[in-house]
Amino acid sequence: MSDVRPIAPGAVRWIARTLEDAGYETWAVGGAVRDALLGRPSVDWDLATRATPKQVRRTFRRTVPIGVEHGTVGVLARDGIMYEVTTFRRDVETDGRHAVVEFAERIEEDLSRRDFTINAIAWHPLRDQLYDPFGGGADLNTRTLRTVGAAADRFREDYLRILRAVRFAGRFDLQIEDTTWAELTALTEYLPTLSPERIREELMKVLSADARPSRALGLYRDAGINTVLYPEIDELADSHWEKAVKIVEALPVNRPMLRLGALLRPVDEASAAAFLVRLRLSNADTDAVAHLSGAPELPPPTPEEEVQRRWLSRHGGQVMKGVARLDLAAARAGCADRSSTEVVEAWRAMRAVLRSCPPLVVGDLAIDGRDLIALGLKPGPVFRDVLQQLLDWVLGDPSRNERDGLLLRAEEVTRRLDSGRHSEGRS
Ligand code: ATP
Ligand code: MG
């Protein structure tokens, strides 16, 4: 990587030039510089400057006060992208969760408050000059993750750095340096003091942005992070865990809910629910992942298609799509007792059934509650039982879904339910 030089978008150079011309020293910092040195495409170029937020806002025509109290101003460039420009900062007080910062004069102070050496490299987009006081470039060369300064202090200042360490080590395939690893594992017990949102976002970044999430997830387990944050997956036997992680890895990035579903698949329903509640996803995501992880694999094709109808009736077409992807990933990862071709066949059979639009839910039946009232039934919980039993009958053969047959059947079912109740009363 030593001969790789960052190449910044024109807008980054324009912002730097404008600020430097106004007399304010300005550097590109953070993830974009690191990614460029790794030869990876850089997104999210961040700039650090000597100018105060007020001065940044006076220098540019179109700005957004993103987090002025933390020193950050968004500058809208001509490429339509907003770049974050942050005043040099130093920490004056930290408590493991928050930091009180003040503005600083020198880039070195700003870099020294950053978490890892690889994240503490500055690059001057006009002079094409690297400023790397903590040896981040050398660590990238040897693929080492190391804190800036004493690991114990840096993790105690902000316990989120424990999660960031394993995320970066996983994503960039870095070895965590011995002291950094020793302190990190010694301090995991403090992770629950972080807000649930920050904890969740870290896991979501692993799932949604890491092409090889097995490494970061493996570190979550090895470091004891799962023990304190995610006991439900920590309790999995090694073989189940390894299989789940392989399947997660076979799923695409940018589909974090699918990957989460794969991770929770070997976990029982109650534990998966507890996990998801603690993660505090939106209600919609929580439901989707719970259904996905709780559904059985797609049944193999059958000529009568009854198995397919029953599966779809129980879990729905949306969940079916997700399960198909999980099954396919499992087959591709060599973690299923069938081939991907067989999964594709099973999926095709499901889609064929869906296309033929058979009745799958009570609402699809050719009779409804009003018909039951006409038969003399009193509305109540028994309605649900009757309709459910009719649906069960129709799932066996969709041609049974016509009015007259269903009405006859409804009478029969009602009689049976009645006599059932009477005999219960007698016993
Ligand atoms: P990503 O690709 O995940 O965005 P990133 O390095 O850009 O990686 P950000 O969270 O966007 O990570 O933060 C930008 C930079 O700010 C980091 O590179 C690091 O220098 C610094 N930073 C962010 N969070 C912390 C933290 N908790 N402690 C210290 N420095 C941090
Ligand atoms: Mg970033």
Say if residue 423's pLDDT is above 70. no
DSSP string, 151-219: HHHHHHHBTHHHHHHHHHHHHHT-EEPHHHHHHHHHTGGGGGGS-HHHHHHHHHHHHHH-S-HHHHHHH
Atom of ligand 1 nearest to the CA of 161: 27
Residue 401, SS3 per DSSP: coil
- Report CA 231 to chain centroid distance, whole Å: 18
Q: Could you tell me if the CB of 30 is within 6 A of ligand 1?
A: yes
Q: 175 C-alpha to center of ligand 1: Å?
A: 19
Backbone angles phi, psi at 294, to 5 degrees: -90, -10
Q: What are the structure tokens assigned to 177, written together?
A: 């340096």
pLDDT (0 to 100) of residue 424: 56
Instruction: Assign 323 a pLDDT band (cuts: 50, 70, 90).
Output: very high
Residues 6+ apart with CB under 8 A from 371: 403, 406, 407, 410
Backbone angles phi, psi at 105, to 5 degrees: -95, -25
Neighbour tally for 212: CB within 10 Å = 13
Reading phi first (left if > 0) and then psi (alpha if -120 to 50, else beta), residue 143 is in left
Say if residue 422's pLDDT is above 80. no
pLDDT (0 to 100) of residue 426: 47
Say if residue 120's pLDDT is above 90. yes
By percentage, how much of the chain surpasses pLDDT 90? 91
Say if residue 23's pLDDT is above 90. yes
Backbone angles phi, psi at 78, to 5 degrees: -70, -20
Q: What is the mean pLDDT of the chain?
A: 95
Q: What is the average pLDDT across 363-376?
A: 92
DSSP 3-state percent helix, strand, coil across the chain (nearest 5): 60, 10, 30
pLDDT (0 to 100) of residue 427: 43
Backbone angles phi, psi at 375, to 5 degrees: -80, -5
- Residue whose Cα lies nearest atom 4 of ligand 1: it is 31
Q: 31 C-alpha to center of ligand 1: Å?
A: 6
State which of 101, 114, 145 you would mutate to test the pocket of ligand 1, scoring each by most atoms of that ligand within 8 A of its C-beta. 114
Whether the CA torsion 299, 303, 306, 309 is positive or negative: it is positive
pLDDT (0 to 100) of residue 2: 55
pLDDT tens per residue, range 136-183: 999 999 999 999 999 999 999 999 999 999 999 999 999 999 999 999
What single-letter DSSP state applies at residue 365? S
pLDDT (0 to 100) of residue 417: 79
DSSP string, 15-61: HHHHHHHTT--EEEETHHHHHHHTTPPP-S-EEEESS-HHHHHHH-S
- Residue whose Cα lies nearest atom 11 of ligand 1: it is 31
Q: 315 C-alpha to center of ligand 2: Å?
A: 38
Q: Could you tell me if the CB of 210 is within 6 A of ligand 1?
A: no
CA distance 324 to 344: 8
Q: Could you tell me if the CB of 158 is within 6 A of ligand 1?
A: yes
Q: What is the average pLDDT across 348-354?
A: 97
- Residue whose Cα lies nearest atom 8 of ligand 1: it is 31
Of all ligands present, the nearest one to the C-alpha of 149 is 1
Q: What are the structure tokens assigned to 290, written together?
A: 């719970």
pLDDT (0 to 100) of residue 92: 92
Q: Could you tell me if the CB of 96 is within 6 A of ligand 1?
A: no
CB 323, CB 298: distance < 8 Å: yes
State which of 119, 156, 199, 210 you would mutate to test the pocket of ligand 1, scoring each by most atoms of that ligand within 8 A of its C-beta. 119
pLDDT tens per residue, range 47-105: 999 999 999 999 999 999 999 889 999 999 989 999 999 999 999 999 999 999 999 99
Closest CA to 350 of 295, 290, 269: 295
Atom of ligand 1 nearest to the CA of 120: 20
Say if residue 252's pLDDT is above 60. yes
Q: Could you tell me if the CB of 157 is within 6 A of ligand 1?
A: no
Q: What is the average pLDDT across 415-423?
A: 75
pLDDT (0 to 100) of residue 350: 98
pTM for the full predicted model: 0.93
